[in-house]
């Protein structure tokens, strides 16, 4: 308990849960880390598909990036409409559930949960890659560094991050600023012809252009689509904006999309003109920064800012996942304890589960961003598609002013994201997307299984308003099994006698001599409680006791049987193996008997 307090801080009062309203400038910082941070790896992922086939294909990264920016524009427009329709926050789960029904809602929820875990894993892996690019000696420790980073973010989130916009503003704007500066200087160098291409690795063995398949192009496009993960975040947080909330949120979203598009296109263009080739131990963005700034302070600033914004992106999932889990828990699709706020006003269970799952992924994929990426985008785009499709359905039913235009916009969004989802799922299937495609239905089954259990429980425990109280036993016989007379037993006798009623001590007779000895002791210490010696032809203490209790239950159908067990509690946990084996067996045997209630009277050992 002390440890917990030191790690996560003292409890907070409910009244302390005040919410800060964010200005557009601060909101951009708070909500955009997830989206903006993806420029740190998106260009690299495109090149990683093209370059291994032939270095001469690298120029294709430019048109592919343009396609992705176009998709970004479509998404931004579509999501602005969600912002105005769901000012209370329109996550994919809510939008698809309210418009399309339960199954699509659960599908969106499943994809989102998987996404949040992957957001943490991918962002942390890419953040660590930013560090190891600058300090290559750390490269072999990627996994450990990743787990450490997640643990830190986990602890911060268990303490509860007060939504302090300023805390986010500095690193986010630093990232935007340094990257824009880099792109500006790079652009000037490019236009003035002073851009020095990176010395490419030895490609003597490289074959000439091989057959360029459509599949390859689509796969590169799929990889680039990771740039768009996180663009929906603002639409979840409309209520945190200053009034008029929807308008401010929409303006912020457009601003974010412009910044994202600029950074992404800029990096792709510079990387191509610099002839950057993906390397295992240095990121593309690090190579670009090194080419433009040299090895000076500015280079390290770019790396530090990249790492920081990626960690913030991971942090944003720690807000989203527990919130989604609590929404699901309120609908009984997740265990109810996911909806319980801890004493730091945080859904601690969700935070811990997300931390554990993402650490697991980091360890499983050895902190390798490229290995994690194929799992990532498919869930994101599935939830995009379901949201847009939900909006289409909404306009068809609700109509209202300009509904045809709105329908068209969301319709285009739905079709575009659906196509992207199919492309990603098919081209990345064998690289890992299949894992997500298998997991989504399993999650849905789990959600529905949990709800049907809660339903069954509620039906069983709900009281019938008009019905009479079921008849219940009115008497209570206390049975106190002993195997000797000692302080623990005497304590249990005292406890049993502290409320009026019938108390019977029972002793299983294994050895007549021993039994006689105990009976004599009982005369002194038993306080007049009647001691019954049970015969035991099979030497089974448990069997004889069970038979005796069964007998009482049969004879007295109107009686509770309270079994009081004197239990010795050792001072150290491992000493339990030396005690209470019989008590444990007795408890297990009695647990499922109706009208039998167990009471342990602990006797605490001090050494």
Q: Does 476 bind a copy of itself (CB under 8 A)?
A: yes
- The DSSP call for residue 225 is G
- Residue 357 touches a copy of itself, criterion: CB under 8 A: no
Q: How far is the CB of 158 from a copy of itself (least distance, A)?
A: 15
Task: Specify the stretch interacting with a copy of itself by CB under 8 A; choose among 36-44, 376-384, 435-443, 531-539.
Answer: 531-539
Interface residue with a copy of itself, options 52, 140, 525, 547 (CB under 8 A): 525
The CA distance from 450 to 385, in Å, is 26
Sites for a copy of itself among residues 407-436 (CB under 8 A)? none
- Residues 118, 485, 508, 553: which binds a copy of itself (CB under 8 A)? 485
540 in contact with a copy of itself (CB under 8 A): yes
- Give the x/- contact pattern for a copy of itself in 107-146, rule: CB under 8 A: ----------------------------------------
Q: Which is nearer to a copy of itself, 192 or 460 (CB)?
A: 460
Q: Which of 512, 538, 555, 573 binds a copy of itself (CB under 8 A)?
A: 538
Closer residue to a copy of itself in complex, CB, 190/601: 601
Q: Which of 137, 211, 430, 606 binds a copy of itself (CB under 8 A)?
A: 606
CB of 92 to a copy of itself, least distance (A): 25
Residue ranges in 444-473 that form contacts with a copy of itself under rule CB under 8 A = 450, 453-454, 456-457, 460-463, 469-470, 472-473
Give the whole-angstrom CA distance, residue 303 versus residue 294. Answer: 13
Reported for 584-590, long-range contacts at CB under 8 A and 24+ positions apart, including other chains, are 585/542, 586/481, 586/542, 586/545, 589/542, 589/546, 590/546, 590/549, 590/563
Touching a copy of itself, residues 564-583 (CB under 8 A) = 568-570, 575, 577-579, 581-582
Contacts of a copy of itself in 57-96 (CB under 8 A)? none
Binding residue (CB under 8 A) for a copy of itself from 498, 512, 555, 557: 498
The stretch among 6-14, 92-100, 103-111, 269-277 that binds a copy of itself (CB under 8 A) is: 6-14
CB of 351 to a copy of itself, least distance (A): 16
Phi and psi at 4, nearest 5°, equal: -60, -45
- CB crowding 190-207: b at 16 or more within 10 Å, else e: beeeebeebeeeeeeeee
Number of CB atoms found within 10 A of residue 437's CB: 16
Cα angle 352, 375, 236; round to 5: 60
> According to DSSP H, which parts of 135-164 are helical?
142-159
Residues 364-393 contacting a copy of itself, CB under 8 A: none
Q: How far apart are CA 99 and CA 108, in angstroms?
A: 12
Assign 475 to helix, strand or coil. strand
Q: Identify the DSSP state of 22.
A: B
User: At its nearest, how many Å lie between a copy of itself and the CB of residue 596?
Assistant: 9
Q: How far is CA 276 from the centre of its chain?
A: 35
Q: Does 519 bind a copy of itself (CB under 8 A)?
A: no
Nearer to a copy of itself, 119 or 580 (CB): 580
CB of 464 to a copy of itself, least distance (A): 9
Using the minimum distance from each CB to a copy of itself, give the nearer residue, 222 or 544.
544
| Nearer of residues 135 and 525 to a copy of itself, judged by Cβ | 525
- Segment near a copy of itself (CB under 8 A), from 83-91, 273-281, 350-358, 499-507? 499-507
The CB-of-544 to a copy of itself minimum distance in angstroms stands at: 11
Residues 154-213 touching a copy of itself, rule: CB under 8 A, are none
Contact 462, 574 (CB under 8 A): no
| Rg of the chain (C-alpha set) | 33
Q: How far is the CB of 476 from a copy of itself (least distance, A)?
A: 4
Determine which residue in the list 12, 181, 352, 533 makes contact with a copy of itself, applying CB under 8 A. Answer: 12
DSSP line for 419-457: HHHHHHHHHSGGGTHHHHHHHHHHHHHHHHHHHHHHHHH
If one asks whether residue 584 binds a copy of itself (CB under 8 A), the answer comes out as: no
Instruction: Tell which one of 166, 487, 517, 530 touches a copy of itself (CB under 8 A).
Output: 487
Q: Which of residues 292-351 bind a copy of itself (CB under 8 A)?
A: 335-337, 341, 343, 345
Q: Per CB under 8 A, does 505 bind a copy of itself?
A: no
Would you say 480 and 504 are in contact if contact means Cβ atoms under 8 Å apart? yes
Q: Shortest CA distance to 427 belongs to which of 120, 605, 213, 154?
A: 213
Q: Per CB under 8 A, which region of 40-48, 112-120, 368-376, 560-568 contacts a copy of itself?
A: 560-568
Helix (H, G, I), strand (E, B) or coil at 481: strand
Which residues touch 173 (CB under 8 Å, ≥6 apart)?
A: 29
Q: What angle do CA 275, 276, 282 make, to 5 degrees?
A: 165
| Rounded Cα gap, residues 510 and 398, in angstroms | 80
Task: Check: CB of residue 49 under 8 Å from CB of residue 219.
Answer: yes
Indicate whether 601 belongs to the interface with a copy of itself (CB under 8 A): yes
Q: Can you tell me which of 474, 528, 555, 573 binds a copy of itself, judged by CB under 8 A?
A: 474
Given a contact cutoff of 8 angstroms between Cβ atoms, the answer to whether 533 and 509 are in contact is yes
Strands 475-482 vs 502-509: parallel, antiparallel or unpaired: parallel
Measured from the CB atom, the residue of 427 and 536 that comes closer to a copy of itself is 536
Report in angstroms the alpha-carbon separations of 327 from 81, 82, 127, 338, 566: 23, 19, 30, 9, 44
Nearer to a copy of itself, 194 or 572 (CB): 572
Size of the site for a copy of itself (CB under 8 A): 71
325 neighbors 353 (Cβ within 8 angstroms): yes
Segment interacting with a copy of itself (CB under 8 A) among 48-56, 209-217, 401-409, 588-596: 588-596
Give the count of alpha carbons within 13 A of 581, CB side only: 5
């Amino acid at each position: 308990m002390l440890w917990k307090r030191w790690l996560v801080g003292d409890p907070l009062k409910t009244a302390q849960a005040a919410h800060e309203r964010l200005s557009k400038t601060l909101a951009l910082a708070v909500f955009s880390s997830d989206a903006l941070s993806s420029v740190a790896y998106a260009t690299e992922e495109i090149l990683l598909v093209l370059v291994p086939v032939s270095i001469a294909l690298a120029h294709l990264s430019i048109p592919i990036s343009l396609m992705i920016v176009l998709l970004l524009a479509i998404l931004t427009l579509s999501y602005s409409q969600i912002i105005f329709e769901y000012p209370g926050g329109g996550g994919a789960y809510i939008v698809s559930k309210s418009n399309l029904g339960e199954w699509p809602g659960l599908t969106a929820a499943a994809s989102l949960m998987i996404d949040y875990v992957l957001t943490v894993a991918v962002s942390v892996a890419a953040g660590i890659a930013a560090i190891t690019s600058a300090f290559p000696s750390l490269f072999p420790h990627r996994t450990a560094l990743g787990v450490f980073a997640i643990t830190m973010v986990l602890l911060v989130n268990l303490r509860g991050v007060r939504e302090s916009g300023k805390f986010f503003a500095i690193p986010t704007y630093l990232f935007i600023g340094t990257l824009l500066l880099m792109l500006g200087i790079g652009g000037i160098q490019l236009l003035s012809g002073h851009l020095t291409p990176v010395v490419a690795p030895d490609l003597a063995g490289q074959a000439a252009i091989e057959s360029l398949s459509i599949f390859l192009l689509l796969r590169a496009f799929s990889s680039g689509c990771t740039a768009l993960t996180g663009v929906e975040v603002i639409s979840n947080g409309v209520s945190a904006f200053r009034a008029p909330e929807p308008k401010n949120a929409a303006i912020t979203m457009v601003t974010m999309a412009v910044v994202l598009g600029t950074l992404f296109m800029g990096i792709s263009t510079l990387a191509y003109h610099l002839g950057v080739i993906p390397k295992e131990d240095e990121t593309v963005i690090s190579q670009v920064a090194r080419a433009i700034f040299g090895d000076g302070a500015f280079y390290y600033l770019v790396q530090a800012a990249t790492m920081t914004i990626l960690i913030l992106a991971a942090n944003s999932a720690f807000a989203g996942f527990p919130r989604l889990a609590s929404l699901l828990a309120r609908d009984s699709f997740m265990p109810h304890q996911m909806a319980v706020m801890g004493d730091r006003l945080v859904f601690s269970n969700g935070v811990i589960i997300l931390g554990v799952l993402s650490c697991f992924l980091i360890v499983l994929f050895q902190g390798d961003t490229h290995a994690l990426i194929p799992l990532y985008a498919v869930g994101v785009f599935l939830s995009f598609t379901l949201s847009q499709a939900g909006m289409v359905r909404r306009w068809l039913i609700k109509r209202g002013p300009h509904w045809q235009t709105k329908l068209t916009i969301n319709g285009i969004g739905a079709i575009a994201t659906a196509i992207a989802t199919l492309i990603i799922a098919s081209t990345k299937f064998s690289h890992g997307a299949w894992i997500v495609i298998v997991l989504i239905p399993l999650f849905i089954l789990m959600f529905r299984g949990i709800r049907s259990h809660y339903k069954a429980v509620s039906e069983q425990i709900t009281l019938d308003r008009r019905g009479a109280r079921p008849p219940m036993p009115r008497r209570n016989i206390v049975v106190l099994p002993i195997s000797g007379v000692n302080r623990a037993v005497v304590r249990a006798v005292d406890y049993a006698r502290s409320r009026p009623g019938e108390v019977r001590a029972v002793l299983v007779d294994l050895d007549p001599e021993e039994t006689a000895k105990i009976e004599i002791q009982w005369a002194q210490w038993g306080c007049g409680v009647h001691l019954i010696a049970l015969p035991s032809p099979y030497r089974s203490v448990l069997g004889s006791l069970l038979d005796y209790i069964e007998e009482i239950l049969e004879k007295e159908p109107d009686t509770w049987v309270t079994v009081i067990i004197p239990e010795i509690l050792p001072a150290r946990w491992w000493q339990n193996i030396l005690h209470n084996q019989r008590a444990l067996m007795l408890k297990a045997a009695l647990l499922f008997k109706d009208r039998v209630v167990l009471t342990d009277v602990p006797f605490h050992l001090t050494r």
